[in-house]
Structure 1
Amino acid sequence: MKKVTIADVAQHAGVSKSTVSQYLNQRYDYMGEQTKARIEETINVLGYRPNILARSLKQKSTTTIGVIVANILHVFSTQVIRAIEDVCNEKDFHVIICNADNQPEKEKKYIEMLRAKQVDGIIAFPTGGNIALYQDLVRENYPIVFIDRLIEGIETNTVLLDNEKAAFIAVETLVKNGYSKIALLSPPFEHAITPRMERLNGYKNALQEYQIPLNEEYIVSGKTSEMQSLIGKLIYLKDPPKAILATNDHVLMELLTYVKKNQIRIPEEIGVIGIDEVSFADIYSPSLTTIAQPSFEMGAKAANLLFERIQKKEIINQAKIYRFEPKLIVRESC
C-alpha cells in the first residue's frame, strides 16, 4: 500500500506543501480557519501519518528527553517524573523513563541507549558510578541536569532538597515535643547518594545545637531486607530511643510495619517523624508528622533547566545548585 506523503495531502487539499508543513508544526499565524479545516479533513481521509524520523533529522531534534531515575518506587521519584512529564507535554516533547535501581551498570546502559536514540537531553538521579561517562557528556556540551544528588567532579545544573535542613527540622520538632533520645533510621550510607549523607549531617547538627549527646547506637542504616531486624535491635537496646527519624518513605514503611507487628503505640511508646510526605500520612492512625519535599516544583525546575540548555545550545560557564526548602507538616505521631 502506497505511503501517503505531504505532497499527497497538499494536492488533495489544494494547498502548498509548505502550508501543510506549517499546519503539522502548529504554525497557524497566517493560516485561515477554512484552510486548517481542509488540511485536517484531508489528513483524516487519506490516513496521513507524519514521518517522525525524517522530521527529527531535518530539525536535528527528536523532541524526546530521557529521565534516568535511581529508584522509581520512591514516592519522591514518581512525583518528580510526573512533573517532568507535565512540562514536556506542554512543550510537545516525549519522555523515556529508565529505572537504574541504583546500579551503575544499568545506568551506563541507559545512558548509552538514550544517546543512541538521539534524545535531546537527559535528567538523571545519578548513581555516582559513571563519573567519566557524565564528564564526557559535559565536555560535549550535551544537555544534562542532575536531580536529588551531587556528583563531585561533574559541573552541571543540579536540583535537590536542602537535606540538612530537612533533618534538622525533624530533630528540632522532636526536641520541642519533649524527646531527647532520638534515633535515625536510614538506607545504607553511601557518599554518592547525597540525601542520605546530608540528612545524617543535619541530624548530627541538630543534636549538637540542642546539646544532646550523640549516641552512635541510635544511628541505624541498612538494606530494606535487613530493616526489620535492625529496628528490633534498636528498640530493644538497654537504653532505647523514644523517637525515630525515618529518612525516607521506604524506611518509614519498614518502621510502621515493625511497630504494627509488635503492637508498639505511636506516639505513647515511640515518636515517629519521616522525611518525604507519603499519601497515607494524614489517614494513618495516628496521622504521621512528616517533612515534605516540594517534589513537583523540583521536577518542573529540572525540566525547565534542561529545556533552557536544549534551546540555547551554549556551554554553561558555571553550573548552579538549586536547593528547595523542606516543609514541616505537623500531625499526631510525635
Structure 2
Amino acid sequence: MKKVTMADVAERAGVSKSTVSQFINNRYEYMAEATKLRIEEAIEDLGYVPNYIAKSLRQKKTSTVGVIVANILHAFSTEIIRSIEDECEQNGFHLFVCNADDQPEKERAYIDMLVAKQVDGLIIFPTNGNEDYYEQLKRSKFPIVFMDRKIDHTFYPTVLLDNEAAASLAVAELVQGGHRKIGMVSNSIENKVTPRLERIAGFREAAVKHGLEVVEEWIIADQVPNIKGRLENVWKKTDRPTAFFAANDLALIELMKFAKQERLRIPDDLGMIAIDDSPFLEIAQTPITVIRQPTFEMGKAAAEMLFSLIQGGRIDSVCEEIRFAPELVKRNSI
C-alpha cells in the first residue's frame, strides 16, 4: 500500500504543502476555519499519520516530556501524574511515566532512556545518589523540574508541600481532640527522603510547642513491612500513645492494619490523622481525618515551570523552590 504523504493531504484539501505543515505544527491562528476543516477531513479520509520523529529531528524538539516518580504506589504520585498529563494535553505534549522504586540506579537508567528518546524535559521525584548526573544535565542546559523532594545540592527548581506546616497542623488537631500522648508512623528515612525528614522534624517541633513529651520509641520510621511489628512492640507497654500521626498514605495503611488486628475502635481506642487523602478514607468504617496536599495545583505548577524552561527559560540560573500550603480535612478519626 502506498504511503500517504503530506502532498496527498494537500492535494485532497486543495491547499499547499506549507499550509498542511502549518496545520500539523499547530500554527493556524490566521488560517480560515473552512481551510482547517478541509485539512482535518483530508487527514482523516486518507489516514495520514505525520512523521513526528522526522519532525522532531528537524525542529530538535519531540513535544514529549518524561516523569520519573520515586514510588508510583503513593496516591500522591498518581494524582501528580494525572495533573501533569492534563497540562501536557493542553500544551500539545505527550508524556512518558517511569517508576524508580526509590532506587538511584533505576532512576539513572530511566533518565538515560528518556534522554535517548529526545524528550524535551523531565519532572523528577529525585533520589539521593545521582547528583553528578543532575549537575551534568544542568551544564548541558537540559530542562528539569524536581517534585516533592530536595537533594543536597540545588540544581533545579523544586515543587514541594510545606511539610513542617502539615505536621504542625496534624499535631494541633490531635491536641485539640484531647490527645497528649502522640506517636508518629513513617516510611524509612534511611534514604533521606525530604517529606519524611521534614514531617518528622515538624512533628517534633510541634510536640514541644504544645508541651508534649517526645517519646523516641513512639516515632516509628521504618520499611513498610516492619511498621506493624514496631507498632505491636509499642502497644505491649502500659504507657503508650492514644493517637498516631501517619506521615503518608502507605504508613496510614499499616497503622489501620494494626488497629484492625488489635480490634481497636477509632477514635475511642486510638485516634489517627494522616497526610495524603484517598477516596477510601472518606468511606472507611471510621472516616479518617487527613492533611491534604494540593496535588493538582502542584502538578500544574511543575508542568508550567518545565514548559517555561523548554521554551527558553534560564536553566543555568533558576533554582526556585515553591512550597504549597497543606489543607486540613476533618472527619471522625480523632
Say if 1:138 and 1:154, in contact at 8 Å, map to a contact too. Answer: no
Q: Equivalences for 1:118-133 in 2 at 5 Å?
A: 118-133=118-133
Q: Equivalent residue for 2:20?
A: 20
How far 1:26 moved relative to its partner?
A: 3.1
TM-score after normalising by structure 1: 0.96
In the alignment, which residue of structure 1 is the partner of 2:248?
Answer: 248
Q: Which residue of 1 aligns with 2:233?
A: 233
Paired residue secondary structure (1:280):
helix
2:201 matches 1:195: no
Q: What residue number does 1:305 align with?
A: 305
CA deviations 1:95-120 (Å, max 9, x no partner) are 00000010111101000001100100
Q: How far apart, CA to CA, are the structure 1 residues paired with 2:157 and 2:42?
A: 45
Is 1:84 paired with 2:84? yes
Structure 1 residue aligned with 2:53:
53
The offset of 1:313, in angstroms, is: 4.4
Paired amino acid for 2:94 = H
Deviation digits for residues 117-156 of structure 1, max 9, x if unmatched?
0100000001112111111111111100001001111321
| Deviates further, 15-24 or 98-107 | 15-24
User: Displacement of 1:286 after TM fit?
Assistant: 1.6
**Take 1:266 and 1:146, find their aligned partners in 2: how far apart are those partners?**
37
1:94 aligned partner: 94
Instruction: Tell me if structure 2 keeps the 8 A contact 1:149–1:193.
Output: yes
How far residue 48 of structure 1 moved from its aligned partner, in angstroms, is 1.5
Gaps of 5+ in 2: none
- 2:5 is the alignment partner of 1:5: yes
Does structure 2 retain, via aligned residues, the 8 Å contact 1:190–1:196? no
DSSP-derived class of the 2:311 partner? helix
Aligned mates of 1:302, 1:318 — CA distance in 2: 13
In 2, distance between residues paired with 1:257 and 1:49?
A: 51
Q: Distance in 1 between matches of 2:116 and 2:292?
A: 37
| CA deviation map 1:62-115 (0-9, x unaligned) | 000000000001000000000000000001100000000101111010000011
**Counterpart in the other structure of 2:134:** 134
Give, in whole Å, the separation in 1 of the partners of 2:132 and 2:271: 44
**1:263 maps to what in 2?**
263
User: Percent identity of the aligned residues?
Assistant: 50
CA offset at residue 222 of structure 1? Answer: 1.3
1:286 aligns with 286
State the match for 1:145 in structure 2.
145
Deviates more, 1:40-49 or 1:170-179: 40-49
Give the Cα separation in 1 of the matches to 2:143 and 2:4.
35
- Is contact 1:165–1:202 with CA below 8 Å preserved after alignment? yes
Paired AA for residue 260 in structure 1: K
| Shift in alpha-carbon separation, 1:7–1:127, aligned structure 2, 3 A | same
Aligned to 2:323: 323
Query: Match for 1:15: what amino acid?
Result: V
Shift of 1:164: 0.7
Q: Which residue of 2 aligns with 1:274?
A: 274
Which residue identity is paired with 1:331?
R
Equivalent AA in structure 2 for residue 197 of structure 1? L
- Equivalent residue, structure 2, for 1:37: 37
**Counterpart residue identity of residue 230, structure 2:** L
CA RMSD of aligned residues (A): 1.4
Structure 1 counterpart of 2:217, which letter? E
Return the alpha-carbon distance in structure 1 between the equivalents of residues 190 and 148 of structure 2: 14
Q: CA deviation at 1:176?
A: 1.7
SS at match of 2:145: strand
SS in 2 for 1:273: strand
- Could you tell me whether the CA contact under 8 Å between 1:150 and 1:192 is conserved in 2? no
Which residue pairs with 1:185 in the alignment? Answer: 185
Conserved? CA contact 1:190–1:197, under 8 Å:
no
Q: Distance in 2 between matches of 1:299 and 1:181?
A: 36
